[in-house]
């Protein structure tokens, strides 16, 4: 095939024409939809001057084209590939475009499509061009009004952005609604919904006293699962007022839940569209993790109203301008709603397992990429999560007040504009008279920096010398890296675990007991004075920068930090480092054919955690969670699939054998007596109890299986039910099938719960799992066109089942490649994401490497490859 075009940031040109207003008329039918667009255009004073008008458009039939009321002749315009070009365009004029599209045949779920019999849209990033010809780029912001006409019985609810200004009957069973959005917006924020939906209504009074109507739309049968989403929305609205001074700006805010959705949710102005997974929840059907996910995604989309919608991106290279910043905001929101320490550790864990791997692979790119083939491939952990870390570093460097000053200036300066990440950083710098010149490299340079720390204590001079050095490994297209500006939050702990007063050489007096050191050079030395005792340094507190830290800790230092560090992240990290050391040495033993040795110090440490009733149970559960197999794989030069699995399970079982009674006691102590509650204490107790269960089950003893079975049977909530079922389904026991069948029988009507059932089976580390996955693809509840189902079954197998996917036979690879090829034709975005499971192929042993490479090559040779899949496959092989 001919390679699709690459788009470069350096080629950016402002739009030649701007759109002042856009009026859209939709006529929805059972086989098609007719769209009439009227664009009031004018020359962009900041553009290149008069010339042809180029509009984007894909997969549609042009049925009418008029300029200022006059039908255009065939020679006055040209349609080539995905554009419509008017050769002569006056400095201003009204263009009227009629197109016919086929939402019923749209399986890509981009543009206007049908889900569960309802119409809905997804326009980010470039879906609007499947609805009408238009300058489909974020720096063209227009005032939209939208009229929708449809059959009233089938589609009683007709929604779009902004305010409803008119609605009525039309005869022959049809009706209409007219919506107007007063805020100019880019086309990617357009939304339309037409369907048979039930509404939950509430109101929110803003701090200036305006009343906002809140409407959440779901299928009738799901009305009992909306309460948590509505509560989360009101909390988010209040939080943005309090923390950032941001008020909502329309009189109505609507959320619609749909079952078929490529991502989590979408922030369309005034009309957010959500994957139903991030709206619907009640205790019986949703886990504590699901409830947290809903709160954070509802917050995320709501926060986009200011960081994304009021101020949007100039071009898609600036995606992190809205996504990194909004992830940062949703993380802060969740931290304020629950335990800050727990949330931070969860975020770091996610970053390390997803983003670090991305940064080390063939698709590595800077937070602000320089080129892409398909923008949909750049909705990545780097743009989102690393982007959020970059914002967090700015906060760490400026302090809370300085950061708020910078945000205020950013909003004041750029409201209503489409801007760049440079504009954001400049506002932060200007508001604080700070210099972020070097810091900007975080946006331009890909790769995870490695920071090394070593130190000496000089008893005679009572000084402590800390040397920090940094190095960023090469990434594709960026062989050489410059030093970054890295904030390293730190403290020095005395032997009792207290923070010591900090005084750097040259300072008059000690100031404070914790600091942020600014590492700017390749290597820098910091000398602390007046220290009467040798300290243990607590470094990278709160994970103050997205780096890999190699610190010269001894085993005793780690035990000490795990027991004493007042910084929760560092405390947790010390435990992780101990576990990682034990597992890595287990892997070496396994490779050498030796018996694995158990590190008794770890059992002591874990024993102390389990009996410490001062500890927040949610934090204790995190301390007990072993590093994931994915993160461990990332730490090895050559991934050892079996070694990782064996050594990690050996550690789990070794701990369980030595501490069985302590785990059992913790299990019982944290069993819920009262009714189900979502308060953090109760959530934490469930997490700790289920962590204990996972250790106990590793003993493979019949009475432990009974324990899990009993929990499964008695559970009144999905958290406990899933935790027990997961344990039962991931071990070969006589009750395994029985439990899975029981779960299916109970939940066969609930699509979201069945996703869990598919995922649990797809991630079983058991022989024969691939056959089970193949059979499940034939199950009546499985639908290849539904992204949630694909993620639950195929995605979980490819990314959540290392021993299954990487089975030495190569069958796992061939199976996933078949699915990528099949999905390429149906839904390229989903196909490309699934293909990402092969990205780390070069890091495996020669046999597996060859097997994965062969599948990638087979995919690349597939005819009619989408740009999405082409980009991932070709860059992976490059």
Stretch that binds Zn ion, among 316-324, 438-446, 616-624, 855-863 (CB under 5 A): 316-324
Q: Lay out the site mask for Zn ion across 325-344 (x = CB under 5 A, - = otherwise).
A: -x------------------
The distance of closest approach from Cβ of residue 326 to Zn ion in the complex, given in angstroms and rounded to an integer, is 5
CA–CA distance, 394 with 833 (Å, rounded to integer): 31
> Considering CB distances under 5 to 8 angstroms, the limit depending on partner class, which of ligand TRP, Zn ion, none binds residue 263?
ligand TRP
335 neighbors 344 (Cβ within 8 angstroms): yes
Q: Lay out the site mask for Zn ion across 269-308 (x = CB under 5 A, - = otherwise).
A: ----------------------------------------
> Considering CB distances under 5 to 8 angstroms, the limit depending on partner class, which of ligand TRP, Zn ion, none binds residue 125?
ligand TRP
Q: Name the E strands within 306-356.
A: 312-313
Can 301 be counted among the known catalytic residues?
yes
> Could you say which of 60, 108, 193, 265 contacts ligand TRP (CB under 6 A)?
265
Stretch that binds ligand TRP, among 8-16, 118-126, 237-245, 752-760 (CB under 6 A): 118-126
Stretch that binds Zn ion, among 25-33, 190-198, 282-290, 317-325 (CB under 5 A): 317-325
Q: Where is 240: in which H helix or E strand?
A: helix 227-244
For tokens 């008893």, the residue is 459
711 binds ligand TRP (CB under 6 A): no
> Considering CB distances under 5 to 8 angstroms, the limit depending on partner class, which of ligand TRP, Zn ion, none binds residue 265?
ligand TRP
CA–CA distance, 840 with 798 (Å, rounded to integer): 12
CA–CA distance, 333 with 162 (Å, rounded to integer): 25
> Could you say which of 376, 420, 470, 599 contacts ligand TRP (CB under 6 A)?
376
Exactly one of 110, 292, 301, 871 is catalytic; name it: 301
CA–CA distance, 363 with 366 (Å, rounded to integer): 10
CA–CA distance, 321 with 316 (Å, rounded to integer): 9
266 binds ligand TRP (CB under 6 A): yes
Measured from the CB atom, the residue of 181 and 323 that comes closer to Zn ion is 323
Stretch that binds ligand TRP, among 261-269, 401-409, 608-616, 796-804 (CB under 6 A): 261-269
Measured from the CB atom, the residue of 113 and 815 that comes closer to ligand TRP is 113
Residues that bind Zn ion (rule: CB under 5 A) add up to a total of: 2
Q: Lay out the site mask for ligand TRP across 280-319 (x = CB under 6 A, - = otherwise).
A: --------------------xx------------------
Cis amide linkage into residue 125, ω under 30° from 0: yes
> Considering CB distances under 5 to 8 angstroms, the limit depending on partner class, which of ligand TRP, Zn ion, none binds residue 744?
none
> Could you say which of 12, 204, 379, 676 contacts ligand TRP (CB under 6 A)?
379
The Cα-based distances of 22 to 39, 144, 230 in angstroms read 5, 5, 32
Nearest residue to ligand TRP, by Cβ distance, number only: 263
CA–CA distance, 403 with 522 (Å, rounded to integer): 27
CA–CA distance, 176 with 174 (Å, rounded to integer): 7
CA–CA distance, 791 with 373 (Å, rounded to integer): 24
558 neighbors 587 (Cβ within 8 angstroms): no
CB neighbourhood size of 160 (10 A): 29
Q: How many CA atoms lie within 13 A of 715 on its CB side?
A: 25
The Cα-based distances of 141 to 22, 302, 303 in angstroms read 10, 20, 19
878 neighbors 856 (Cβ within 8 angstroms): no
The distance of closest approach from Cβ of residue 430 to ligand TRP in the complex, given in angstroms and rounded to an integer, is 28
Which positions ≥6 away from 651 have C-beta within 8 Å? Answer: 579, 582, 583, 586, 598, 602, 626
518 CB-contact burial (10 Å; exposed 0-12 / middle 13-18 / buried 19+): middle
Measured from the CB atom, the residue of 204 and 379 that comes closer to ligand TRP is 379
Q: Show contacts with ligand TRP in window 500-529 (CB under 6 A).
A: none
Measured from the CB atom, the residue of 257 and 647 that comes closer to Zn ion is 257
The distance of closest approach from Cβ of residue 257 to ligand TRP in the complex, given in angstroms and rounded to an integer, is 14
> Maximum Cα–Cα distance for the chain, whole Å?
95
CA–CA distance, 668 with 704 (Å, rounded to integer): 13
The distance of closest approach from Cβ of residue 310 to ligand TRP in the complex, given in angstroms and rounded to an integer, is 15
Stretch that binds Zn ion, among 93-101, 124-132, 315-323, 826-834 (CB under 5 A): 315-323
259 binds ligand TRP (CB under 6 A): no
Q: Which residues bind ligand TRP (CB under 6 A)?
A: 122, 124-125, 262-263, 265-267, 300-301, 323, 376, 379
Give the residue numbers marked as catalytic: 301
Q: Which residues bind Zn ion (CB under 5 A)?
A: 323, 326
């Amino acid at each position: 095939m001919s390679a699709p075009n690459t788009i470069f940031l350096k080629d950016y040109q402002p739009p030649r024409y701007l759109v002042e207003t856009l009026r859209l008329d939709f006529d929805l039918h059972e086989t098609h939809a007719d769209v009439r667009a009227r664009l009031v255009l004018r020359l962009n004073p900041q553009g290149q001057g008069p010339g042809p008008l180029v509009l984007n458009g894909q997969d549609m039939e042009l049925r009418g084209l008029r300029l200022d009321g006059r039908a255009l002749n065939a020679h006055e315009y040209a349609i080539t590939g995905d554009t419509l070009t008017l050769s002569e365009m006056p400095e201003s004029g009204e263009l009227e475009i009629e197109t016919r599209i086929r939402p019923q045949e749209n399986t890509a779920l981009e543009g206007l499509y049908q889900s569960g019999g309802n119409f809905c849209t997804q326009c980010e990033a470039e879906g609007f061009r499947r609805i009408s010809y238009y300058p489909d780029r974020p720096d063209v912001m227009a005032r939209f009004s939208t009229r929708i006409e449809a059959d009233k019985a089938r589609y009683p609810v007709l929604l779009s952005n902004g305010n409803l200004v008119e609605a009525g009957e039309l005869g022959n069973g049809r009706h209409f609604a007219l919506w107007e959005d007063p805020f100019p917006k880019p086309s990617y924020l357009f939304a339309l919904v037409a369907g048979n939906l039930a509404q939950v209504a509430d109101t929110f009074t803003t701090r200036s006293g305006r009343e906002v109507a809140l409407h959440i739309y779901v299928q009738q049968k799901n009305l009992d699962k909306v309460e948590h989403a509505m509560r989360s929305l009101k909390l988010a609205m209040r939080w943005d007022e309090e923390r950032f001074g941001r008020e909502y700006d329309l009189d109505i805010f609507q959320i619609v839940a749909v079952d078929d959705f490529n991502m989590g949710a979408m922030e369309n102005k005034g009309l957010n569209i959500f994957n139903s997974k991030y709206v619907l929840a009640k205790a019986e059907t949703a886990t504590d993790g699901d409830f947290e996910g809903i709160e954070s995604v509802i917050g995320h989309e709501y926060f986009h109203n200011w960081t994304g919608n009021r101020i949007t991106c100039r071009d898609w290279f600036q995606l992190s301008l809205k996504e990194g910043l909004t992830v940062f905001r949703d993380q802060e929101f969740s931290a304020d709603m629950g335990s800050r320490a727990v949330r931070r550790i969860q975020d770091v864990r996610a970053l390390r397992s997803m983003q670090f791997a991305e940064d080390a692979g063939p698709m590595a790119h800077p937070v602000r990429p320089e080129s892409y083939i398909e923008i949909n491939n750049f909705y990545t952990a780097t743009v989102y999560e690393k982007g959020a870390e970059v914002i967090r570093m700015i906060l760490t460097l400026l302090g809370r007040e300085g950061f708020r000053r910078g945000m205020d200036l950013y909003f004041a300066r750029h409201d209503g504009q489409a801007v760049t990440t440079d504009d954001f950083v400049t506002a932060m710098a200007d508001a604080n008279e700070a210099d972020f010149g070097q810091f900007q490299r975080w946006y331009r340079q890909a790769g995870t920096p490695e920071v090394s720390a070593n130190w000496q204590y000089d008893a005679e001079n009572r000084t402590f010398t800390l040397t920090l050095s940094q190095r960023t490994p090469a990434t594709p297209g960026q062989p050489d890296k410059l030093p970054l500006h890295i904030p390293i939050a730190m403290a020095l702990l005395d032997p009792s675990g207290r923070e010591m007063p900090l005084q750097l050489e040259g300072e008059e007096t000690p100031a404070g007991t914790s600091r942020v050191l600014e590492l700017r050079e390749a290597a820098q030395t910091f000398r602390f004075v007046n220290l009467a005792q040798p300290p243990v340094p607590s470094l990278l507190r709160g994970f103050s920068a997205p780096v890999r830290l190699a610190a010269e800790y001894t085993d005793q230092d780690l035990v000490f930090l795990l027991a004493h560090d007042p910084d929760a992240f560092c405390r947790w990290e010390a435990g992780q480092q101990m576990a990682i050391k034990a597992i890595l040495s287990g892997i070496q033993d396994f490779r050498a054919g030796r018996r694995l040795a158990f590190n008794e110090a770890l059992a002591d440490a874990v024993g102390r955690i389990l009996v410490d009733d001062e500890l927040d149970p949610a934090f204790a559960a995190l301390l007990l969670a072993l590093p994931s197999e994915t993160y461990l794989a990332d730490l090895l030069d050559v991934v050892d699939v079996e070694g990782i699995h064996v050594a990690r399970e050996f550690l789990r079982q070794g701990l369980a054998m030595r501490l069985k009674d302590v785990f059992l006691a913790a299990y019982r102590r944290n069993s819920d007596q009262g009714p189900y509650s979502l308060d953090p204490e109760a959530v934490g107790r469930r997490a700790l109890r289920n962590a204990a269960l996972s250790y106990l089950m590793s003993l493979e003893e019949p009475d432990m299986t009974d324990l899990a079975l009993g929990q499964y049977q008695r559970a009144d909530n999905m958290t406990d039910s899933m935790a027990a079922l997961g344990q039962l389904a991931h071990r070969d026991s006589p009750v395994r099938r029985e439990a899975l069948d029981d779960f299916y029988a109970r939940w066969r009507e609930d699509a979201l719960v069945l996703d869990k059932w598919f995922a649990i089976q797809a991630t079983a580390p058991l022989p024969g799992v691939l056959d089970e996955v193949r059979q499940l693809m034939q199950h009546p509840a499985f639908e290849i066109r539904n992204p949630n189902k694909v993620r639950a079954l195929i995605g979980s197998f490819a990314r959540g089942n290392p021993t299954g996917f990487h089975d030495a036979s190569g069958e796992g690879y061939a199976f996933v490649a078949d699915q990528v090829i099949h999905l390429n034709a149906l839904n390229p975005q989903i196909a490309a994401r699934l293909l990402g499971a092969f990205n780390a192929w070069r890091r495996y042993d020669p046999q597996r490497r060859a097997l994965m490479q062969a599948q990638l090559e087979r995919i690349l040779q597939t005819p009619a490859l989408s740009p999405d899949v082409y980009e991932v496959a070709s860059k992976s092989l490059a």
